[in-house]
Protein backbone atom coordinates (compact mmCIF):
# COMPACT_ATOMS: atom_id res chain seq x y z
CA UNK A 1 0.00 0.00 0.00
CA UNK A 2 1.50 3.36 -0.99
CA UNK A 3 2.30 5.78 1.82
CA UNK A 4 -0.29 8.46 2.48
CA UNK A 5 0.52 11.90 1.19
CA UNK A 6 0.50 14.98 3.38
CA UNK A 7 -2.84 15.90 1.78
CA UNK A 8 -4.40 12.56 2.78
CA UNK A 9 -2.98 12.72 6.31
CA UNK A 10 -4.43 16.19 6.74
CA UNK A 11 -7.82 14.97 5.50
CA UNK A 12 -7.80 12.05 7.94
CA UNK A 13 -6.85 14.23 10.89
CA UNK A 14 -9.48 16.83 10.14
CA UNK A 15 -12.13 14.12 9.72
CA UNK A 16 -11.28 12.36 12.99
CA UNK A 17 -11.15 15.63 14.93
CA UNK A 18 -14.53 16.68 13.53
CA UNK A 19 -16.08 13.30 14.41
CA UNK A 20 -14.78 13.51 17.96
CA UNK A 21 -16.27 16.99 18.24
CA UNK A 22 -19.60 15.72 16.89
CA UNK A 23 -19.70 12.88 19.43
CA UNK A 24 -18.78 15.19 22.33
CA UNK A 25 -21.54 17.67 21.65
CA UNK A 26 -24.07 14.99 20.77
CA UNK A 27 -23.54 13.68 24.30
CA UNK A 28 -23.99 17.16 25.72
CA UNK A 29 -27.20 17.73 23.76
CA UNK A 30 -28.63 14.40 24.94
CA UNK A 31 -27.76 15.20 28.56
CA UNK A 32 -29.26 18.69 28.32
CA UNK A 33 -32.41 17.37 26.64
CA UNK A 34 -32.87 14.75 29.37
CA UNK A 35 -32.38 17.36 32.07
CA UNK A 36 -34.86 19.72 30.39
CA UNK A 37 -37.50 16.99 30.20
CA UNK A 38 -37.03 16.28 33.90
CA UNK A 39 -37.17 20.00 34.71
CA UNK A 40 -40.39 20.45 32.78
CA UNK A 41 -41.86 17.49 34.65
CA UNK A 42 -40.94 19.12 37.95
CA UNK A 43 -42.44 22.41 36.82
CA UNK A 44 -45.66 20.61 35.90
CA UNK A 45 -45.81 19.10 39.39
CA UNK A 46 -45.37 22.58 40.87
CA UNK A 47 -48.16 23.87 38.61
CA UNK A 48 -50.53 21.16 39.84
CA UNK A 49 -49.76 21.96 43.48
CA UNK A 50 -50.33 25.68 43.01
CA UNK A 51 -53.60 25.01 41.20
CA UNK A 52 -54.76 22.99 44.21
CA UNK A 53 -53.60 25.73 46.60
CA UNK A 54 -55.67 28.22 44.64
CA UNK A 55 -58.74 26.01 44.88
CA UNK A 56 -58.29 25.14 48.56
CA UNK A 57 -57.63 28.61 49.88
CA UNK A 58 -59.39 30.85 47.38
CA UNK A 59 -56.25 32.59 46.25
CA UNK A 60 -54.96 33.38 42.79
CA UNK A 61 -51.27 32.55 42.54
CA UNK A 62 -49.56 32.23 39.16
CA UNK A 63 -48.89 28.53 38.69
CA UNK A 64 -45.91 28.78 36.34
CA UNK A 65 -43.49 31.27 34.89
CA UNK A 66 -43.93 32.66 31.40
CA UNK A 67 -40.95 30.66 30.11
CA UNK A 68 -42.20 27.37 31.51
CA UNK A 69 -45.70 28.11 30.23
CA UNK A 70 -44.40 28.73 26.70
CA UNK A 71 -42.28 25.57 26.74
CA UNK A 72 -45.14 23.46 28.08
CA UNK A 73 -47.74 24.75 25.64
CA UNK A 74 -45.28 24.26 22.78
CA UNK A 75 -45.06 20.59 23.75
CA UNK A 76 -41.27 20.77 23.94
CA UNK A 77 -40.97 18.05 26.57
CA UNK A 78 -42.91 15.55 24.48
CA UNK A 79 -41.01 16.48 21.34
CA UNK A 80 -37.64 16.01 23.01
CA UNK A 81 -38.72 12.70 24.50
CA UNK A 82 -39.82 11.46 21.09
CA UNK A 83 -36.62 12.58 19.41
CA UNK A 84 -34.44 10.97 22.06
CA UNK A 85 -36.38 7.73 21.67
CA UNK A 86 -35.73 7.67 17.94
CA UNK A 87 -31.94 7.61 18.19
CA UNK A 88 -29.17 6.30 20.37
CA UNK A 89 -25.62 7.53 20.90
CA UNK A 90 -23.16 6.20 18.35
CA UNK A 91 -25.78 4.82 15.99
CA UNK A 92 -24.45 6.86 13.08
CA UNK A 93 -21.86 4.53 11.59
CA UNK A 94 -18.89 6.15 9.94
CA UNK A 95 -17.21 4.29 7.12
CA UNK A 96 -13.72 5.59 6.48
CA UNK A 97 -13.28 5.52 2.74
CA UNK A 98 -9.74 6.23 1.61
CA UNK A 99 -9.26 9.87 0.72
CA UNK A 100 -8.34 10.24 -2.93
CA UNK A 101 -5.08 12.08 -3.29
CA UNK A 102 -5.28 15.58 -4.74
CA UNK A 103 -3.54 18.95 -4.64
CA UNK A 104 -0.33 17.19 -5.69
CA UNK A 105 -0.26 15.56 -2.26
CA UNK A 106 0.30 18.88 -0.50
CA UNK A 107 -1.62 20.02 2.56
CA UNK A 108 -4.32 22.62 2.15
CA UNK A 109 -4.07 26.00 3.84
CA UNK A 110 -4.87 26.36 7.53
CA UNK A 111 -8.47 27.27 8.35
CA UNK A 112 -10.11 28.91 11.33
CA UNK A 113 -13.03 26.47 11.09
CA UNK A 114 -10.72 23.62 12.07
CA UNK A 115 -9.17 25.58 14.92
CA UNK A 116 -5.89 25.87 13.06
CA UNK A 117 -5.59 29.65 13.18
CA UNK A 118 -5.32 30.33 16.88
CA UNK A 119 -3.76 33.35 18.47
CA UNK A 120 -0.37 31.68 18.26
CA UNK A 121 2.20 31.38 20.99
CA UNK A 122 2.18 34.04 23.64
CA UNK A 123 5.09 36.36 22.96
CA UNK A 124 7.74 36.36 25.62
CA UNK A 125 7.81 39.80 27.22
CA UNK A 126 11.06 41.66 26.87
CA UNK A 127 12.47 42.11 30.34
CA UNK A 128 12.89 45.69 31.42
CA UNK A 129 16.59 46.34 31.88
CA UNK A 130 17.64 47.27 35.40
CA UNK A 131 18.83 50.88 35.38
CA UNK A 132 22.41 51.51 36.35
CA UNK A 133 23.55 54.46 38.44
CA UNK A 134 26.87 56.24 38.52
CA UNK A 135 26.90 57.22 42.19
CA UNK A 136 25.82 55.48 45.40
CA UNK A 137 25.67 57.06 48.85
CA UNK A 138 25.78 54.78 51.89
CA UNK A 139 24.02 55.51 55.19
CA UNK A 140 23.80 56.62 57.84
CA UNK A 141 25.01 59.99 56.48
CA UNK A 142 26.80 60.58 53.21
CA UNK A 143 27.03 63.38 50.70
CA UNK A 144 28.54 64.74 47.52
CA UNK A 145 28.64 68.33 46.33
CA UNK A 146 25.06 68.06 45.00
CA UNK A 147 23.29 65.34 47.06
CA UNK A 148 23.21 64.57 50.79
CA UNK A 149 21.45 61.57 52.30
CA UNK A 150 20.49 60.94 55.92
CA UNK A 151 19.30 57.39 56.59
CA UNK A 152 20.04 54.24 58.59
CA UNK A 153 23.42 52.53 58.54
CA UNK A 154 23.59 50.13 55.60
CA UNK A 155 20.98 51.98 53.54
CA UNK A 156 22.02 53.13 50.07
CA UNK A 157 20.91 55.85 47.67
CA UNK A 158 21.95 55.60 44.01
CA UNK A 159 21.63 58.21 41.29
CA UNK A 160 23.35 59.55 38.19
CA UNK A 161 25.42 62.68 38.87
CA UNK A 162 24.67 65.83 36.86
CA UNK A 163 27.29 68.53 36.37
CA UNK A 164 25.01 71.16 34.84
CA UNK A 165 21.64 72.67 35.69
CA UNK A 166 20.05 74.50 38.59
CA UNK A 167 21.77 74.66 41.96
CA UNK A 168 18.89 75.74 44.20
CA UNK A 169 18.65 73.50 47.28
CA UNK A 170 15.69 71.11 47.56
CA UNK A 171 14.77 68.39 50.02
CA UNK A 172 12.77 65.22 49.67
CA UNK A 173 11.72 62.78 52.38
CA UNK A 174 11.41 59.13 51.39
CA UNK A 175 8.50 57.15 52.84
CA UNK A 176 7.43 53.51 52.63
CA UNK A 177 3.97 52.54 53.92
CA UNK A 178 3.81 55.74 55.93
CA UNK A 179 7.23 55.28 57.56
CA UNK A 180 10.02 57.73 56.78
CA UNK A 181 13.15 55.94 55.57
CA UNK A 182 15.48 58.75 54.60
CA UNK A 183 15.87 62.44 53.90
CA UNK A 184 17.73 63.67 50.84
CA UNK A 185 18.92 67.21 50.15
CA UNK A 186 19.90 67.95 46.56
CA UNK A 187 20.23 70.60 43.85
CA UNK A 188 17.00 71.20 41.94
CA UNK A 189 18.72 70.14 38.70
CA UNK A 190 17.88 66.56 39.73
CA UNK A 191 14.11 67.04 39.80
CA UNK A 192 12.50 64.34 37.64
CA UNK A 193 15.66 62.21 37.50
CA UNK A 194 15.53 58.56 38.63
CA UNK A 195 17.07 57.15 41.77
CA UNK A 196 17.10 53.89 43.72
CA UNK A 197 16.92 53.59 47.50
CA UNK A 198 17.72 50.27 49.16
CA UNK A 199 17.50 49.08 52.75
CA UNK A 200 16.67 45.90 54.65
CA UNK A 201 13.09 46.02 53.30
CA UNK A 202 14.20 45.92 49.67
CA UNK A 203 15.14 48.16 46.76
CA UNK A 204 12.77 50.91 45.63
CA UNK A 205 12.88 53.18 42.61
CA UNK A 206 11.65 56.74 42.36
CA UNK A 207 12.35 60.15 40.88
CA UNK A 208 13.71 63.25 42.56
CA UNK A 209 10.84 65.44 43.72
CA UNK A 210 10.76 68.09 46.42
CA UNK A 211 8.64 67.14 49.42
CA UNK A 212 7.39 63.70 50.49
CA UNK A 213 8.06 60.82 48.08
CA UNK A 214 6.30 57.49 48.58
CA UNK A 215 8.29 54.42 47.53
Provide the pLDDT for residue 131: 77
pLDDT band at 93 (very low <50, low <70, confident <90, very high): low
Summarize the confidence of residues 9-28 as an average pLDDT.
Answer: 91
Provide the pLDDT for residue 30: 92
Residue 50 has pLDDT above 90, yes or no: yes
Contact 47, 64 (CB under 8 A): yes
Reduce the DSSP state of residue 84 to 3 states and report it.
helix
Provide the pLDDT for residue 97: 74
In 3D space, the residue among 94, 113, 101, 121 whose CA is nearest the CA of residue 10 turns out to be 101
pLDDT band at 63 (very low <50, low <70, confident <90, very high): very high
| CA–CA–CA angle 60, 62, 63 (5° rounding) | 115
- Contacts of residue 86, defined as CB under 8 A and 6 or more positions apart, other chains included, come to none
pLDDT digit string, tens, across residues 177-196: 889 999 999 999 999 999 99
Provide the pLDDT for residue 120: 58
Summarize the confidence of residues 73-80 as an average pLDDT.
Answer: 93
Compute the mean pLDDT over every residue in the chain, rounded to the nearest whole number: 89
pLDDT digit string, tens, across residues 102-150: 989 899 999 989 988 865 566 666 666 767 898 999 988 998 889 999 9
Least confident of 65-69, 90-94, 129-133: 90-94
Provide the pLDDT for residue 117: 82
Provide the pLDDT for residue 95: 65
Provide the pLDDT for residue 201: 87
Amino acid sequence: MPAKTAYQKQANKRTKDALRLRARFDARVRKAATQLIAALGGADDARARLNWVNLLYGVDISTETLLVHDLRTAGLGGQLGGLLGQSEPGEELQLFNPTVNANDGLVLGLEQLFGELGAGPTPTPTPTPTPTYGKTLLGPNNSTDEVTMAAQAGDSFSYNPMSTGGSAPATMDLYRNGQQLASVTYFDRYNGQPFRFANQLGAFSGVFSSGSVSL
